């Protein structure tokens, strides 16, 4: 063992697989949310306060519906990836795998339910 180089001693001890790709995906989603969230707040705020029919008419227009859908999807994906990192750091073994599956299932269910509600509202 003492004849091994530093690189050989460190090989296999850390994750050097997809960290950069995961980091870039997270940064891109964060940049998209930086633009989407203020637009969503102003768009959603303009639709609040009217009657039921006015709100239906407002979200029937393409721009508010698209901004709401994009914010929902990108925001939930960011939340799921951050939750995945937390689970991978603090939970181990079979419970880690079960937690990851449950978290992904819940996240995609929330995305589907939100998009379904938006489509019902918009149509």
Domain boundaries, the chain: 19-122
Provide the pLDDT for residue 102.
98
Give dist(CA 103, CA 80) in Å, integer. 7
Q: Is 32 helix (H, G, I), strand (E, B) or coil?
A: helix
Report if pTM > 0.95. Answer: no
Give the C-alpha distances (Å, rounded to integers) separating 4 from 1, 10, 16.
Answer: 6, 10, 19
Q: What is the pLDDT of residues 10-49, one digit of tens each?
A: 666 665 667 788 889 989 999 999 999 999 999 999 888 8
Q: What does the block give as tokens for 76?
A: 């939930």
Per CATH, which fold does 19-122 belong to? 3 helical TM bundles of succinate and fumarate reductases (1.20.1300)
């Amino acid at each position: 063992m003492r004849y091994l180089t530093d690189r050989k001693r460190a090989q296999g001890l850390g994750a050097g697989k997809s960290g950069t790709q995961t980091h870039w995906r997270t940064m891109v989603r964060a940049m998209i949310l930086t633009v989407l969230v203020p637009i969503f707040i102003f768009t959603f705020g303009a639709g609040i306060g009217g009657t039921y029919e006015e709100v239906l008419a407002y979200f029937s227009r393409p721009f508010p519906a698209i901004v709401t859908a994009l914010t929902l999807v990108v925001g939930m994906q960011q939340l799921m990836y951050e939750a995945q990192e937390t689970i991978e750091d603090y939970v181990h073994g079979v419970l880690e795998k079960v937690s990851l599956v449950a978290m992904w299932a819940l996240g995609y269910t929330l995305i589907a339910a939100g998009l379904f509600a938006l489509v019902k509202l918009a149509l």
